[in-house]
Amino acid sequence: MAEIDRREFLKLVGASAGAAAAAGCSEPVEKLIPYVVQPEEITPGLPVYYASTCRECPAGCGLLVKTREGRPIKLEGNPEHPVNRGALCARGQAAIGRTYHPDRHPGPLRRTGEGSFEAIGWDEAIALLAEQVKQAGSGTWFLSGDPGPTASRWIDRWLAAVGAGGRVVHEPFAPEALRQAASEVFGAAGEPRFDLTDADLVIDFGSDFLETGPSPVAHARQFAASRDVAEGEGRKARFVYVGPRLSMTASNADEWVAGKPGAAGALALAVARAAVDAGAGSAAVREALAGLLGNFAPERVAAQTGVEAETIQRLGRAVARARHAVALPPGPALTGRRARATAAAVLLLNAVSGSVGRGVRVSPAGAGRRASYRETLALIDAMKSGRVKLLLIGDGNPVYSLPTATGFAGALEKVPFVVSFASLADETSARADLILPDHTPLESWGDVVSAPGARSMVQPTLRPLHDTRALVDTLLDTGRALGPAVAARLPSGSFRTLLEQAWSDADWREAVARGGRFEPAPATETVSLAPGAGRIEVAEPLLEGEGDWTLLAVPSPWLYDGRGANLPWLQETPDPVTKIAWQSWAEVSHATAERLGLELGDVVAVETPTGTLEVSVYPRGGIRDDVVAIPIGQGHTVGYWASAAESGRPGEPRGANVLDVLPAATDESGGRAWLAARATLRKTGAHRRLALVQTSQNQRGRLLGEAVPLAALAAGDGHAAEHGGEHDESHGNGHGDAHHELLKPFDASKDADPDSSYRWGMAIDLDRCTGCSACVVACHVENNIPLVGERRSLEGRQMSWLRIERWIGEGSLKGGRTLPVAADPDEAPGVVDVRHAPQLCQHCGAAPCESVCPVLATYHNPEGMNAMIYNRCVGTRYCSNNCPYKVRRFNYYDYSRENWPGLLGLMLNPDVTVRVQGVMEKCTFCTQRVSAARHAATLEGRTIRDGEVTTACAQACPTQAIAFGNLRDEKSRVVEKSHAPARSYHALHELNTRPAITYLAQVKRGRVGEEG
Amino acid sequence: MVGLDRGSRRAFRRALFLLGGGALVVALLLALPEPRPVAAQSSDVARQAQAQAWDEDAPGPKQPIPFSHALHAGTYQIECLYCHTGTDRSPMAGVPSVESCMGCHSQFGADLEGVQILQQYWQEKKPIPWLQIHRLPEHVQFPHHRHVNAGLECQTCHGPVQEMHKLYLTPDTKWWPWLTPARKLEMGWCISCHRENEVTQDCFACHY
Amino acid sequence: MTPPPATSVAAMMRPLPAAEDSRSNRDILAVMGRPTLGYVALLLLVVSAVAWALGTFVYQTYVGLGVAGYSHPIFWGVYIVTFVFWVGIAHAGTLISAILYLFRAKWRNAINRSAEAMTVFAVATAGLFPLIHLGRVFKFYWLLPYPNQRALWVNFKSPLLWDVFAVSTYATISTVFLYVGLIPDIAIARDRSTGWRKALYSVLALGWQGTSPQWKAHNRTVLHLSGLATPLVLSVHSVVSWDFAASIVPGWHATIFAPYFVAGAIFSGFAMVLTVMIPVRRIYGLERYITDYHFENMTRFILLTSLIVGYAYGVEYFIAWYSGVEAERTSFWLRAFGPYWLSAWIMITCNAFVPQVFWFKRLRTHIPTIFVVSVLINVGMWFERYVIIVTSLSREYNPAVWGQYTPSWVELSILAGSFAWFSMFFLIFLKIFPVIAINEVKELEIHEKEHPGGEYWEHGHTYEEVH
């Protein structure tokens, strides 16, 4: 709403926002505040895009930052960027919130007492820091994540100049074991990178590459490409997931092999053995590994891994038959004390399958300084022993993300002076003596190496909102303040100029304009097995404690290592598997739940040698009986949304922090081990309701999330999907002929004004949808959708216009008496049948909601959209009652007042009305984007071209599962996509609502190694 | 003139005479040279203009600067888009930046009070807090560029600004085809125009 | 028929002099006498209840409907339930006054006044709820088709709009009906009152003198109004039922709804008349006018409509099964055995089973039984609407967003307030207007004089007993 937006703008420029009553005019008069000097690139009312880079995780995706009147309002992927090719994950979409966040430090702060700070000026702050540095000398240490190559170089130079102790890089999910393994197996220093594009068999040993892997967006794109059924037989890669828990990534697998936690190494070698037996692997590899593989006969391994020998044999045969099989090593959750050997084993499997150098690229040369858990632990020891006099903490939140058992917080107390550069308040900065806030990524300069050949640029897209300074500039000024001696050893100028120098080899202007310098990845010279490759020691993981359950600390797809917890969009988006929002939970198997007499939501005490944790349980079929899984990321005590402050309980943690009960274990080479403890579960008798946003994952055989068997697809059986995939009468829901009669075919493109050149529509490919929910967050940000928080999520009052519904198979007629219900037992090892179905307004041609609105607030517009006019709505809510898809949302409260605290209102999209209390709202097919495109087109006297306009959800999708366009344009991508007779269907077709959205049924590829 | 009684003939003659006279007057008026733009130095005109721009009795609120549209757009014949740049490219009407005012007024007019106030803003690098006159109701999206490019005069909605020293919302009311009046910039007022010109009447065109 | 003797004609034609005032006048007008302490206490109670409800409503309007129990996907709750409930109650009056009048069912005369009054008050109560449940109640007038500068029109396709018309029409007609019936009695009251009452009645009586032309006109008016009102009895609740039947919600989308709702409405209407009139008769000793015979006739009606309602319940389930539509089947299965099973069984028990006791003459004429049953029926009928609305919405087509609904204290306060509001009107009415149609009672008495052995004999009264 332009209104709010203008007011906030006034706040920004510091002018008075008050409305002055003017003479001769009864109603208050708004003020028009022009620019003093209008930047020539800015035309008020038109967006300006800047290319930058996402700093949410090490993947380093390229960004296009959409700004209006100098304020970023939306992050989109940079189409030119080789890593993400225009897409962005949920975390990337939500990242925009950091800049306007209420938790931001207003400026330099000095600690005055327990948790209390006073604001000071920069000069004073820098003098203070300089003084401390002078005193501390070599006792000065710098701890942070990876600030990017240029920043790193200058930080190191500065540390050297002031004679500091050194720098430690801490990145909780850094694949240290994998790097070690690579050097062990191939003698290569580089980090192996996996490319799934050409794979025809993917075996994931728990990397969860679609969620928190090394590069989720890139991997999602490659994964979809490798399985694209549209491209004929050749492109139907199989995907096997090996691991104790059916994660979101696993939900997209064809088969789930529920191996014991920590069994990945043995399984990998056993599969390799079976593959070799089936004739895989070059002579050299066979010869090198003969000895090792000898000990891993499937029969022997079967017992210790909990996987039948037959399965292992079958996978081995599949690997042998595959042209190009890629195996991915375990991610953090399954990184145990033997992580290096496990990763090595997986790399060996890749060597056997012959994909090293193709799908698995290992560059011999390492790239710069990398995260090291070993060094972090060493630093902690130094802190405890008082050898660290001054600790400078850059980005990252070690107090939270390090295992509590490492005693980092306690060690911090021992450090005389702690400086934090965090721009947002967190547990670490709360303990600092001095806070020198850095800019947020959207405000700062910087660079990132996203991938070999991809140097990405980070550039500011708005004037810093607060009194912050670039970290490197702060350090340089401090150095200069230390006197000429130090200053002489430091460069002149600001970080910006240093960055430009660092990029002197590239065309600076072009790099800034394009978001970096992108060259094809250098051809990696083929690496061969190192002599030691055959001598790796794979064994059971060593687990502390005596409990019956192995504790799995699962990286949260949204909160990552916890850094996402303060972004409400990520909290509000339900977990892709359990559909729980804003909370913590413990996943246990149904068997476990029965054994302990636990119902959904009952609080269970998880006890490890390190500590005890109380959390509600979520019983499900998709987890081994000997495992309890708790997501990482919740349990913060600082932060408006991260802690329970938003729920009115500041200082209290939101949810439970699993890191409290993890031992501070390391792997063979000092990398961080997450899979390190056994736990005992004890029923506490308490019950804490879980905010299940999706109350049931059983679709009862209704036409919502469909699937077709690959066979039917090959046979071109046009009715497969219309029947709802391989429906049989088993779930007795009247599918079959009688049911089929009801599915009257229709032409959605007719449902618009005859004279209109458009009928907007959508095609959603369930075979490509991985459930990553990037679209959900994109929709939230684009459309100013309110975030309702934990309490109201529990009340079932979420506002999201777009949700991903997770269906387990066709479902059954069981259940429904009590709600919410946990995932069905149908989730079981073996063939995976989970469908992710994005559900949004279907913009029906015969919309039930339209006919019942007494005031015509919702109606069918000439371009075939189901329009919703907020300011006409009186709130009878009949439309929502009558909507079979239940995609309409009601404003129970005045969210416009309470939902954007502080400066957060600045990120509202000025092209979209902020809805008031008491009105309905729903997906508009991003009509503001369509209007913008229509204006542009009409001014050029033409109609909108295909691809000229797309919705926020379609734009964000890493797998391009969503296509939006004009159904009346025969050549449009949406028409082409929705024309798939064997797979296309319409949600709840039998109600004859004539939806504008065509779904393409998911393809069921069946058990791996059994296809003809 | 056969068949006409005297009275009618007299009436007819009178009519002819009036018509002729009228034609003559019109011809004379047309023959007159149109008023030439008054040069910048004629600052008494300007002085009057700015006095009227701050005239307490004139309708409309008092702006922070006695800026006269009548002087700029009327007397000097400056194109609207010259200052309100971007209005033909963007949904938003551009409010000229202080810089663009100074573009001219750094050259002349320094003797005028208004310009002095302007220069003060410029020196303090502060924006001018203009009071908004033409304010759409809430929840409406109005794309200026579409209307400007459709060949609408700015005056259609903003009134004869080129004649206003002090800006105010010129009253305008449409009745037809409804029984109730729609005041200027109210929805019915927009719709009536959209109906006359047979352009979209889709709610979604303005409300989203 | 033989012309009535002059005396009685005279009795009909001019008001009796106060000296020899008839017993009916005295008895019935006595009700309007000085309020007792109990009455005042009761009135205060209901007024304060109304005030409380009003307060909560203001609170809800300010804070937002979030304070009600609504949660996705259940967007209608107690408010709409109560709306339908009161519209149902409103049916007895018009039925008794109009339809029974046309059928010349004389026994109606003693109860029609109170029934009509209840109708008006019930509609006045019902009419509030569609507004209370609006998200933006201050925009309620957008539901009315009036010329506006926005050139916006209402959606005549929407059942909610039909409601607006149906209910407002019904309110108008029933008010007129009540008033026209009152005129002669107001005249009687006028002739026997002083002070402000006199002034009030003089205005309201429209100069009624009981002259023969006036009586003619009066009877003709009543006849015509009855003719007008009769179709309304059927139409109003049919339209209300279409709010549901016209949707595609499983559990709502049923063709049987119109007759089903009308029967239910009459059912609940009669129950409410009994619930109210039994105490009134007791307190003001009107046994002479409202006799057990009247109550018995009403129980017969209740028995009949109960059977219809019970049948409708059966048909609903049958069709759900017979349709073979899984969503329908599930919806109804969970209605009976799901989270809302209790409401469902309360509804079936109170509405279909309990009234069956009226098969027995003993119970039909046993006042305490009648009272208890009538109260149970009111409860049952409220739950019927609760079950239809809430259970259907809670289990719709998309299982991903199946939900649960529990009324909040705000909704319950306003529900309680609605009963208080209704009672408040009725209590005031008792004191201002004759609660029994004096003129019609007299008509009966005269009728009796002329034709001994008429209806009055049926339950053993002799003319002597009556006088």
List, in sequence order, every residue forming a beta bridge with A763; answer none if it has no partner: A963, A998
Interface membership of A893 toward C (CB under 8 Å): yes
Task: Using CB atoms within 10 Å of the CB of residue A364, give its burial: 0 to 12 exposed, 13 to 18 middle, 19+ buried.
Answer: middle
Contacting partners of chain B (3+ CB pairs under 8 A): A, C
Which residue is listed with tokens 């009272």? C371
According to DSSP, the β-strands at A109-113 and A116-119 are: antiparallel
The C residues from 137 to 176 touching A (CB cutoff 8 Å) are: 139-140, 142-143, 152-155, 157-161, 164
Q: What are the pLDDT digits (tens) for A601-648?
A: 999 999 999 999 999 999 999 999 999 999 999 999 999 999 988 878
Per DSSP, the residues of A57-94 read STT--EEEEEEETTEEEEEEE-TT-TTTTT---HHHHH
pLDDT in tens, C181-217: 899 889 988 888 888 889 999 999 998 988 899 999 9
Interchain contact C244–A (C-beta under 8 A): no
Alpha-carbon torsion angle A722, A725, A730, A733, nearest 10: -30
Q: According to the 3-state scheme, what is the secondary structure of A127-160?
A: HHHHHHHHHHHHHEEEEECCCCHHHHHHHHHHHH
Can you say whether residue A178 is alpha, beta or left, with left for phi > 0 and alpha for psi between -120 and 50 degrees? alpha
Q: With b meaning 16 or more CB within 10 Å and e meaning fewer, what string describes C56-94?
A: bbeebbeebbbbbbbbbbbbbbbbbbbbbbbbbbbbbbb
At residue A745, the pLDDT reads 85
Contact assignment for B208 to A22 by CB distance below 8 Å: no
Give the residue from chain B lying closest to C151, CA to CA. Answer: B188
* Residue C141 contacts B where some CB pair is shorter than 8 Å: no
How far is Cα A309 from Cα A512, in angstroms, rounded to an integer? 55
**Using 50, 70 and 90 to split pLDDT, how confident is the model at A1012?**
very low
**Chain A contact set for B121 (CB, 8 A):** 36
Q: Judge whether C155 is closer than 8 Å to chain B, CB to CB.
A: no
Q: How far apart are CA A78 and CA A951, in angstroms?
A: 16
Mean pLDDT across the stretch A674-691?
94
Give the C-alpha separation, A709 to A629, whole Å: 32
Give A807's contacts in chain C (Cβ within 8 Å). Answer: 400
With a cut of 90, say whether residue A103 has pLDDT above it. Answer: yes
Categorize the per-residue pLDDT at A34 as very low, low, confident or very high, splitting at 50, 70 and 90.
Answer: confident
Residue of A nearest to C338 (CA): A817
Band the pLDDT of B10: cuts 50, 70, 90.
low
A520, exposed or middle or buried, with CB in 10 Å at 0-12, 13-18, 19+?
exposed
Kindly write down the DSSP assignment for every residue of A458-518, as one continuous string: E---S--SSS---HHHHHHHHHHHT-HHHHHTS-SS-HHHHHHHHTTTS-HHHHHHHTEEE
Residue of B nearest to C153 (CA): B178
Percent over 90 (pLDDT), chain A: 67
Sequential pLDDT tens for chain C (467 residues): 455 555 555 455 555 444 456 777 777 777 777 888 989 999 999 999 999 999 999 999 999 999 999 988 999 999 999 999 999 999 877 887 787 778 777 777 778 888 889 999 999 999 999 999 999 999 999 999 988 888 888 999 999 999 999 999 999 999 998 999 899 889 988 888 888 889 999 999 998 988 899 999 998 998 898 888 888 888 899 999 999 999 999 999 999 999 999 999 999 999 998 998 899 888 888 887 888 888 888 899 899 999 999 999 999 999 999 988 899 999 999 999 989 999 999 999 999 999 999 999 999 989 999 999 999 999 999 999 999 999 999 999 999 999 989 999 999 999 999 999 999 999 999 888 888 877 777 777 776 666 655 444 344 344 444 43
| Secondary structure of A246-283 in HEC code, one letter for each residue | CCHHHHCCCEEECCCCCCHHHHHHHHHHHHHHCCCCCH
Q: Is the pLDDT of residue B16 over 80?
A: no
Q: Search chain B and give the residue with CA nearest C152.
A: B188
Average pLDDT over chain A reads: 88
Band of the pLDDT at A817, cuts 50, 70, 90?
A: confident
pLDDT at B43 (0 to 100): 73
Complex ipTM tops 0.90: no
Q: Under DSSP, is residue A860 helix (H, G, I), strand (E, B) or coil?
A: strand
pLDDT class of B38 with cuts at 50, 70, 90: very low
pLDDT at B138 over 70: yes
The mean pLDDT value for A708-736 works out to 51
Q: Is A810 on the interface with C (CB under 8 A)?
A: no
Task: List the structure tokens of A681.
Answer: 């579960």
- Report strand pairing: A889-890 vs A920-921: antiparallel
Look up the pTM and report it.
0.90
Question: Is A939–B145 a contact, with Cβ atoms under 8 angstroms apart?
Answer: yes
> Left, alpha or beta for C212 (phi > 0: left; psi -120 to 50: alpha)?
alpha
Task: Output phi, psi for B145, to 5 deg.
Answer: -60, -35
Looking at the partner chain, which of A818, A876, A880 has a beta carbon nearest the beta carbon of C134? A876
Q: What is the pLDDT of residues A565-607, one digit of tens each?
A: 999 999 999 999 999 999 999 999 999 999 999 999 999 999 9
Whether the ω angle into residue A653 lies within 30 degrees of 0, i.e. cis, is no
CB contact under 8 A, B204 and A871: no
Looking at the complex, does the CB of residue A840 fall below 8 Å from at least one CB of chain C? no
- A852, A885, A895, A919, best to mutate vs chain C, most C CBs in 10 Å: A852
C195 to chain B, any CB pair closer than 8 A? The answer is no
Rounded to an integer, the average pLDDT of A523-529 is 74
pLDDT of A87:
94
What are the chain A neighbours of C402 within 8 Å (beta carbons)? 695-696, 816, 819
> Which positions in chain B have a beta carbon within 8 angstroms of at least one beta carbon in chain C?
177-183, 186-189, 191-192
> Which residues of chain B are within 8 Å of residue A12 when distances are taken between CB atoms?
none
Q: How far apart are CA A86 and CA A90, in angstroms?
A: 13
| A735: confidence class by pLDDT, cuts 50, 70, 90 | very low
- Does the beta-carbon distance from B188 to C148 stay under 8 Å? yes
Cβ distance of C72 and A890 shorter than 8 Å: yes
Which helix (H) or strand (E) element contains residue A588?
strand A586-589
High-pLDDT (> 70) share of chain A, %: 92
Q: Does B176 touch chain A (CB under 8 A)?
A: no
Q: Neighbours of A (≥3 Cβ pairs closer than 8 A)?
A: B, C
- Radius of gyration from C-alpha coordinates of chain A: 28
Whether A856 and C154 lie within 8 Å, measured CB to CB? yes
User: Of the spans A359-368, A908-917, B166-175, which averages the highest pLDDT?
Assistant: A908-917
For residue A305, the surrounding DSSP H or E stretch is helix A298-305
Cβ of A876 within 8 Å of Cβ of C326? The answer is no
Which pLDDT belongs to residue B33? 55
State how beta strands A549-554 and A627-631 pair: parallel
- pLDDT of A659 > 50? The answer is yes
Give the distance from residue C398's alpha carbon to the nearest chain A alpha carbon, in angstroms.
Answer: 6
Please report the pLDDT score of residue C451 as a whole number.
63
Query: Residues 319-348, chain C: which have Cβ within 8 Å of A?
Result: 324-327, 330, 334, 337-339
Cα C355 from Cα C302, distance rounded (Å): 7
Please name the residue of chain B whose CA is at the shortest distance from the CA of residue A4: B138
- Whether the CB of C149 is below 8 Å from some CB of chain B: the reply is yes
**Cα A440 from Cα A435, distance rounded (Å):** 14
Residues linked to residue A240 through DSSP beta bridges, in sequence order = A203, A255
Q: What is the mean pLDDT of residues A818-826?
A: 74
Sign of CA dihedral C163, C166, C172, C177: negative
User: What are the distances in angstroms from CA C28 to CA C32, C110, C215, C285?
Assistant: 8, 11, 21, 9
Burial class (CB in 10 A: 0-12, 13-18, 19+), C211: exposed
